[in-house]
Amino acid sequence: MKIGLLGHGVVGSGVSKIIDDGLTWEVRELEIKRILVKDESEITDERMTLNPADILEDPEIEIVAECMGGLEPAHSFLVEALKKGKHVVTSNKKMLATYCEELFDFARENGVTVHYEASCGGGIPWMASLDRTRRVDDIDSFRGIFNGTTNYILTRMTKEAGSFPEILKDAQKLGYAEQDPTDDIDGHDVRYKVALSVVKAFDSVINVNDIITFGIRNITLQDLEWCREQGMTCKLIGTGSYFGDHISACVIPMFLKNSDIFSNIPMNFNVIESTSKTLGAASFIGQGAGSLPTAHAVVQNLIDIWKDQDSEINPKYKKPIDNSTHTGVFYIRTAKPEVFAEIAESISGDTVLTKNVSLVEAVKKIQEASDESLFIAEVREA
Amino acid sequence: MKIGLLGHGVVGSGVSKIIDDGLTWEVRELEIKRILVKDESEITDERMTLNPADILEDPEIEIVAECMGGLEPAHSFLVEALKKGKHVVTSNKKMLATYCEELFDFARENGVTVHYEASCGGGIPWMASLDRTRRVDDIDSFRGIFNGTTNYILTRMTKEAGSFPEILKDAQKLGYAEQDPTDDIDGHDVRYKVALSVVKAFDSVINVNDIITFGIRNITLQDLEWCREQGMTCKLIGTGSYFGDHISACVIPMFLKNSDIFSNIPMNFNVIESTSKTLGAASFIGQGAGSLPTAHAVVQNLIDIWKDQDSEINPKYKKPIDNSTHTGVFYIRTAKPEVFAEIAESISGDTVLTKNVSLVEAVKKIQEASDESLFIAEVREA
């Protein structure tokens, strides 16, 4: 089966390595015909080209594997590929979370599919397990520590009582955090992964911007000390739950009981858990995905298409995200505690502990407070 | 697709419930035609029978799902089913680990397959993930906390400094351990799971009795205290590694560094990890499998057969188990420390710490010592 590869960076070069090595008979059924690279200096073999038309216009190429990253031109290239009746495999979570509805529609109209196992969980066979579980079962909910960078920072802050800026700087030095860490520490990276997990787990298209998202940028040792005193551990959690007519989905720091298995997953490890009726809770642990684990997931999807396992994998229907059913007790540290009086169970200095309220109510008050240094975490007693 | 179900106990009744409920379209393609039960009192619907021939001789039944447990008559029934050209799905780890070579041969001769996802990991999609990973990659090794009962006992002994007999008694009261706990505490349960994981991960048939097996029956607080002082945690580990011409596989208590993710998996949780070339380490966590999770795995295999995903899943070739390549440092507490002088790095009272030796050498000395109260653990510095 002939493949066109868009991008030859960290992931793309891993994909071409695995396919060229051809370790298994399944992999040897795949062939990379052309590779789109960014500039002349990247060209190291004759399959490489600077012209996307060499891939998008080639009728022999049945699958386009996109490992470029970024919104454009990745998005336009994939629209083009789908319109030409080519299957698409992508590792690009931001692009797919943003445009999934449009891309799935084009896929359906042209009788092809969009696969995206590598976009979420990389080294963790999370997406494939959701597919398999759903053959027998409905997924009720999922939750995960989806981001290794923030888990690393939280673990070290907790252990060493180091401040956020201090540990972040160290993480950047060690290569665990990007020079621009915004996507990680503000929760955007987790938001994209939650969006695509919702698509897969609940077979519904959603609007990624409706996912309420809080990060750990403002966390202080005071917050972690409060958490520790409750016998709890702080983790940045992405979660989604299915309610038939709507889906709740959010990204928020959570204070979890120390006995929770998630509290025991340290450093740059990820963990994702699905809960379904007959299987119960199943969890997957992996380490921040590197080149080959992410490439492995791309190649798995190429084999899926070659084996034609699922011809109707992309959901058609859009469901609203509504977090009013997501209720809980929230810890809020803010310069304006008085704004939260109405929903507060107790206020102590700059720290508010809310009554059991919906996340939507809490967000309304946060918008009202408009306090840029505010930190919120959900306190999970169970 | 018509199925004959052997056994209607904890797992069997879960299988019939999932199929009768028919939650997904895949499940609705399955139909249980007959169910073999043990005695009249069990008969609650017209599909139930006391006569195995009603299933084994019925040409309409294409798959036999065995959830009886025990060696016989489960084994003879499955031989009969395979000879009649019926696919087999089993949740019976002891029986399959014991007879896998024979059953796989009968399957191959009759153009059918033996599926056994439920036999190991139950609620954890471990076997299915091995299958998927192997489409792209070679599995180099695996290790796991395969047994919830022993993990529960070790966790509580470590936390509460309670003695083994004390905590075991409590675990029995709480239903975490059987009244006859031999299979769990002596490592037999893990041995069967390691055997079937070897079959799946390394595509080789082995002799289950060659798997060197030590349990935790003799563990004392003195052993755990020594372990704690090294900054380590004790877990009962099953492990297998592939070496081309042979496989090493054993079950042994290990002292693991506290930073090891396995040290952080408490109580009755299981965790299994595979290591492969491109995917690296991937871990799966689950809780002791109950009725529905195990039944879920059986139903997944029924769907696999219906979809005919893999027609040649059962390995043909037998590989020797040879633990001489398994080398390490071993902690041995014994009434006869002098027997271990030759392989000892240090002896202190009744405690021997060995040099870096092969597991086979250590076992030889243990046989020589013939000390029924001996406890051995491997000390894993990395």
Q: Tell me how crowded residue B22 is: count the other CB atoms within 10 A of its CB.
A: 13
d(CA B331, CA B225): 12
CB-defined contacts A:B, below 8 A: 132
Is B213 in the same domain as B247?
Answer: yes
The residue from B193, B200, B319, B365 that is catalytic is: B193
Residue of B24, B137, B285 lying closest to A136 (CB–CB): B24
Q: What CATH number is associated with residue A188?
A: 3.30.360.10
Rounded CA-CA distance B75/B98 in Å is 9
With bands split at pLDDT 50, 70 and 90, how would you rate the model's confidence at A372? very high
Please give the radius of gyration of chain A, using alpha carbons only, rounded to the nearest integer.
Answer: 22
Give the pair of three-digit tokens for residue B213.
């097996």
Query: Quick one: B14 and B105 in the same domain?
Result: yes
Query: In this structure, are B334 and B187 located in the same domain?
Result: yes
Report the residue from A18, A125, A138 with minimal CB separation from B23. Answer: A138
Residue B131 domain-assigned (yes or no): no
What pLDDT, on the 0 to 100 scale, is given for residue A310? Answer: 65
Determine the Cα–Cα distance for residues A51 and A38; give it in Å rounded to an integer: 9
Chain A hits for B309, Cβ within 8 Å: 309
Place of tokens 């939260």: A340
d(CA A138, CA A276): 6
| Whole-number pLDDT of residue A315 | 86
A365 contacts: CB under 8 Å, gap ≥ 6 = A339, A340, A342, A343
Whether B209 and B227 map to the same domain: the answer is yes
Rounded Cα distance, A240 and A195, in Å: 9
Q: DSSP class of residue A42?
A: G
Q: How far is CA B299 from CA A11, A15, B14, B293, in A?
A: 35, 33, 10, 10
Identify the pLDDT of residue A371.
Answer: 98
Amino acid letter, A185? I
Cβ contacts of residue B341 below 8 Å, gap of 6+?
Answer: B347
Q: How far apart are the first and last CA of chain B?
A: 49
The whole-angstrom distance between A308's CA and the closest CA on chain B is 11
Domain boundary among A275, A307, A339: A307
d(CA B122, CA B300) in angstroms, rounded, equals 11
Mean pLDDT in each 10-residue stretch from start to end of chain B (382 residues)? 96 96 95 97 96 98 97 98 98 96 95 94 86 93 96 96 96 90 96 97 94 98 97 98 95 96 90 90 80 92 86 82 95 98 97 98 98 97 82
DSSP 3-state assignment of A253? strand
Task: State the DSSP code for A71.
Answer: S
Split at pLDDT 50, 70, 90, the class of A121 is confident
In whole angstroms, give the CA distance from residue B155 to residue A38. Answer: 54
Helix, strand, or coil (residue A226):
helix
Least trusted range by pLDDT, from A13-27, A83-97, B32-46, B274-288: B274-288
CA atoms within 13 A on the CB side of B326: 27
Please check whether residues B202 and B257 belong to one and the same domain: yes
Q: How many CA atoms lie within 13 A of A81 on its CB side?
A: 31
Burial B251-284 (b: 16+ CB within 10 A, else e): bbbbbbeeebbbbbbbbbbbbbbbbbbbbbbbbb
Q: Residue A137 and residue B295: Cβ atoms within 8 Å?
A: no
Using the predicted structure, report yes or no on whether residue A268 has a pLDDT greater than 90.
no
Domain count for chain A: 2
Structure tokens at A256: 């979890």
Contact between A36 and A6 under an 8 Å Cβ cutoff? The reply is yes
In a domain, B216, yes or no: yes
Instruction: Decide which of A123 and B105 is more confident.
Output: B105
Q: In the Cβ-directed half-sphere of B14, how many Cα atoms lie within 13 Å?
A: 25
In whole angstroms, give the CA distance from residue B144 to residue B236: 8
**DSSP state letter for A233:** E
Tokens linked to A201: 């787990």
* Whether residue A6 is found in the same domain as residue A98: yes
Q: In angstroms, what is the C-alpha Rg of chain B?
A: 22
Kindly report which listed range (A46-55, A330-339, B117-126) carries the lowest average pLDDT score. B117-126
pTM over 0.90: yes
Cross-chain Cβ contact B27/A296 below 8 Å: no
3-state secondary structure of A106: helix
Same domain, B103 and B162: no
Domain contains A319: no
Strand partners, B250: B212, B239
- Any idea what the CATH number is for the domain that residue A57 is in? 3.40.50.720
Q: Are residues A233 and A296 in the same domain?
A: no
Contact A282 B138 (CB under 8 A): no
- Residues of chain B contacting A282 with CB distance shorter than 8 Å: 123-125, 284-286
| pLDDT score of B323 | 93
Contact yes or no for B183/B70 (Cβ under 8 A)? no
A contacts of B26 (beta carbons < 8 Å)? 135-136
SS (H, E, C) chain B: CEEEEECCCHHHHHHHHHHHHCCCHHHHCCEEEEEECCCHHHCCCCCEECCCHHHHCCCCCCEEEECCCCCCCHHHHHHHHHHCCCEEEECCHHHHHHHHHHHHHHHHHCCCCEECHHHCCCCCCHHHHHHHHCCCCCEEEEEEECCHHHHHHHHHHHHHCCCHHHHHHHHHHCCCCCCCCHHHHCCHHHHHHHHHHHHHHHCCECCHHHCEECCCCCCCHHHHHHHHHCCEEEEEEEEEEECCCCEEEEEEEEEEECCCHHHHCCCCEEEEEEEECCCEEEEEEEECCCHHHHHHHHHHHHHHHHHCCCCCCCCCCECCECHHHCEEEEEEECCCHHHHHHHEEEEECCEEEECCEEHHHHHHHHHHHCCCCCEEEEEECC
Q: Mean per-residue pLDDT for A145-161?
A: 95
Work out the widest C-alpha separation in chain B, in whole angstroms.
68
Tell whether A219 and A88 lie within a shared domain.
Answer: no
Asked if B141 and B126 count as a contact pair (C-beta separation under 8 A), the reply is no
A345 contacts: CB under 8 Å, gap ≥ 6:
A329, A353, A354, A355
Which residues in chain A have their CB less than 8 angstroms from residue B284's CB? 282-285
Residue ending a domain, among B262, B278, B307, is B307
Q: For residue A51, count CB atoms less than 10 angstroms from its CB and return exposed for 0-12, middle for 13-18, buried for 19 or more.
A: exposed
| Domain contains B313 | no
CB contact under 8 A, A278 and B264: no
What pLDDT does residue B213 have? 98
The residues of A assigned a catalytic role are 193
| Residue A368 lies inside a defined structural domain of this protein | no
Question: Do B260 and B148 have their domain in common?
Answer: yes
Interface residues of B toward A, Cβ cutoff 8 Å, are 14, 18, 23-24, 26-27, 123-125, 128-129, 132-138, 259, 261, 264-266, 269, 271, 277-287, 290, 292-293, 295-296, 299-300, 303, 309
What span, in angstroms and rounded, lies between the C-alpha atoms of B133 and A284? Answer: 14
Question: In this structure, are B97 and B246 located in the same domain?
Answer: no
Q: How far is CA B250 from CA B191, B217, B247, in A?
A: 7, 17, 10
**Is the C-alpha dihedral spanning B69, B71, B76, B78 positive or negative?**
positive
* A365 within domain boundaries: no
What is the span of the domain harbouring residue B101?
2-123+291-307
User: Is A156 part of any domain?
Assistant: yes
pLDDT interval class at A311 (50, 70, 90): low
Are A268 and A288 contacting, i.e. CB atoms less than 8 angstroms apart? yes
Bond from prior residue into A73 cis (ω within 30 degrees of 0): yes
Percent of chain A at pLDDT exceeding 90: 87
Q: What are phi and psi of B63, to 5 degrees?
A: -130, 140
Total Cβ atoms within 10 A of residue A324? 11
Statement: residue A253 has pLDDT above 70: yes
CA distance B120 to B197: 7
Structure tokens at A115: 């696969």
The answer on A78 and A12 residing in a single domain is yes
Cα B27 to Cα A370: distance, rounded to the nearest angstrom: 51
Among B307, B340, B371, where does a domain finish?
Answer: B307
B276 to chain A: nearest residue by CA? A293
On whether residue A235 sits in a domain, the answer given is: yes
DSSP assignment letter at A273: E
Residues in B closer than 8 angstroms to A309, CB to CB, are 309
- Whether pLDDT at A321 is above 90: yes
Among the residues of chain A, which ranges form H helices?
Answer: 10-21, 25-28, 53-56, 74-83, 93-109, 126-133, 148-160, 164-173, 182-185, 188-202, 221-229, 291-307, 359-369
